[in-house]
Chains A and B, each alone.
Chain A
């Protein structure tokens, strides 16, 4: 053995390979101490006089005070939207409307870093996701619907599409800016004006969006933002001058809204919860499938209505998939949402954390086997380690109820028929994933699964051109694509 070979023989294995923190700078965001309501293109004090702090879930610090609009405030916002609709917005040339939307899209792109940092600060989602998913998709939505604004006649030939009037929109806290874009872009493209209520725990990007609205010189009153809690939302739904209600959020609230608009003639779309099945067949490429499983359930801490929260694995590859999955989970980094290396950020609110804990406890009690990779959670803030349950029966709460957290339940199946039956055995029907090498199997599964969105060999992939929405208790109506315009139009 030569001298060099001897030395190589002894070459040491490092004890660890740690990554230095790579936090994104907070300095790009300038927050006010206090935010009012954005009505008629102006910041106004709420008549209710009520302000509440909005809290960063990663540090529990208060970021700013935000107005909580009351009935009077909501009324003013609807009035201003109605006025903007009657006096101008519905009459301007559609190509002009398109210009405004293009302008908003470009400004969002230009200011994307600022928005991404703020989204992560206020909502707790990893900066990697807000930077690479939320912001590009938000801008893409405005670009996409800007294109439709002057082509409505071609989208719906011979049906004479006309705008509805005022759209009242209520959005959730899991993708605050993206959901805002999903709502506002098609509404404006169709010629409506909007009153939007952001979620109470994540209002800041919507408030920063008001700045974009001003920068784009949108006529006052076309976009109104009223922050507040469920009471403001209920007022907005109730208001008789609202022609269309769009809601994304929990099934429970969705049912209430449906009751409230019953008999009023208001148009309604609901995008509610889900308990999606992610189905892995034995001919799937396993390493890619494991990445898909991880992306399906741990994306945005599992705060995704279409999250692949039920994993259905064919029995012949069960052991292998679980081993690979557990190893992959060990490499997930939980921590500071602003760190570019973080995979899983903070749980959005304390209530949500309590709900996740309750359901996980129920899972353990019912007899499922729990696995969590060893990981240190930060002391301050709200966190939950990535979790997987095996030995799950279909009747367990963790297999039936939407957890909306980083918790995966694993079931097995033997035949495609059994997979379909188990996947459809849920009150929801929003999304599903199929992993297989066979194209024919993908097609047959997609016809038999009762879900609005089916991903093949991928998961959680979004595009503004593709309609998104659910079956059964996951709601009705579609957002995105040409289908997303329809709920904002009336036809003669």
Chain B
């Protein structure tokens, strides 16, 4: 799909955004998507105007990971409603 966006941009000059959703539950998966985006469309697309995640459970995992980065410890998933 990112390649299709690239083709459209090259033919028409229109920048189309992408919002992947479904199955993206972990921060790690989100990073993988960001790398895909960067490799295919470059940094220009790395803005909320053109790329967003439509995945609600991802937020909780991101919060958990951010807290871990800050404190060095993983908190209980209960605090972040991770199933």
Q: Answer yes or no: B14 CB below 8 A from chain A CBs.
A: no
Contact indicator A11/B49 (Cβ below 8 Å): yes
C-alpha gap A11/B17 in the complex (Å): 14
Does A12 sit within 8 A of B, measured CB to CB? yes
Cβ–Cβ contact A16 & B47, under 8 A: no
Whole-angstrom CA separation of A189 from B17 in the bound complex: 56
Interface residues in A1-41 by Cβ distance below 8 A to B read: 8-9, 11-17, 19
The reply to whether B43 and A14 form a contact with Cβ atoms under 8 Å apart is: yes
From 34 to 49 in chain B, residues with beta carbon under 8 angstroms from any chain A beta carbon are 34-35, 38-39, 43-44, 46-49
**A15 nearest in chain B by CB position:** B43
Chain B residue numbers with a CB within 8 Å of A466 are none
* CB <8 Å contact, A14 and B3: no
Main secondary structure of the interface of B (DSSP, over half): helix
**A33 vs B47: C-alpha distance when bound (angstroms):** 52
Q: From A341, which residue of chain B is reached at the shortest CB distance?
A: B35
Instruction: Given A17-B34, A17-B38, A331-B39, answer yes or no on A287-B3 (Cβ-Cβ < 8 Å).
Output: yes
For A323, the closest partner residue in chain B by CB is: B10
- Among A9, A11, A17, A287, contact of B43 (Cβ-Cβ < 8 Å): A17
A290 closest partner in B (C-beta): B3
| Least distance between A217 CB and chain B CB atoms (Å) | 42
Cα(A13)–Cα(B46), bound, Å: 6
Minimal Cβ-Cβ distance residue in A for B2: A287
Whose C-beta in chain A lies nearest to the C-beta of B3? A287
B53 to chain A minimum Cβ distance, whole angstroms, is 15
Chain A residues contacting B49 (CB-CB under 8 Å) are 8-9, 11
Contact with A along B24-63 (1 / 0, CB 8 A): 0000000000110011000110111100000000000000
Contact, CB under 8 Å: B47 / A13: yes
Distance of A17 Cα from B46 Cα, bound (Å): 9
Cross-interface CB contact of A12 among B3, B35, B39, B47, cutoff 8 Å = B47
Q: Considering the chains assembled together, what is the distance between the CA atoms of A15 and B47 in angstroms?
A: 11
A contact residues around B46 at 8 Å (CB) = 13-14, 17
B48–A13 touching, CB < 8 Å: no
Query: Closest CB-CB distance, B46 to chain A, in whole Å?
Result: 5
Whole-angstrom distance between the Cβ of B54 and the nearest chain A Cβ? 16
By a CB distance below 8 angstroms, the chain B residues around A15 are 43
A12: chain B residues at CB < 8 Å are: 47
A19 to chain B, nearest CB (A): 8
Contact B38 A11 (CB under 8 A): no
A345 to B49, CA, bound (A): 36
Measured CA separation A15–B42 after assembly (Å)? 10
CB distance from B38 to the nearest CB of A (A): 5
In the complex, A331→B35 CA distance in Å? 12
Q: How far is the CA of A480 from the CA of B49 in the complex (A)?
A: 52
Q: List, in ascending order, chain B residues with CB within 8 A of A13's CB.
A: 43-44, 46-47
Counting chain B CB atoms within 10 Å of each CB, the highest count among A13, A14, A16, A331 belongs to A13
**Which residues from chain B contact A9 at a C-beta distance below 8 Å?**
49
Most buried by A among B34, B39, B44, B49: B49
Chain A residue with minimal CB distance to B10? A323
Say yes or no: A11-B48 contact (C-beta < 8 A), given A17-B43, A287-B3, A331-B39. Answer: yes
Would you give the shortest CB distance from B9 to chain A, in whole angstroms?
12
CA A287 – CA B39 in complex, angstroms? 13
B47 touches A11 (CB 8 A): yes
B27 CB to closest chain A CB (Å) equals: 15
CA–CA, A16 and B34, complex, Å? 12
Cβ–Cβ < 8 Å partners of B3 in chain A: 287
Q: CA–CA, A14 to B49, complex, Å?
A: 12
Structural contact, A16 and B43, CB atoms closer than 8 A: yes
- Contacts A/B (CB < 8 Å), 14 sampled: A8-B49, A11-B47, A11-B48, A13-B43, A13-B47, A14-B46, A14-B47, A15-B43, A16-B43, A17-B38, A17-B46, A19-B35, A287-B3, A331-B39
Q: Which residues of B contact A (CB under 8 A)?
A: 3, 34-35, 38-39, 43-44, 46-49
**Other A-B pairs beyond A8-B48, A14-B43, 20, CB < 8 Å:** A8-B49, A9-B49, A11-B47, A11-B48, A11-B49, A12-B47, A13-B43, A13-B46, A13-B47, A14-B46, A14-B47, A15-B43, A16-B43, A17-B34, A17-B38, A17-B43, A17-B46, A19-B35, A287-B3, A331-B39
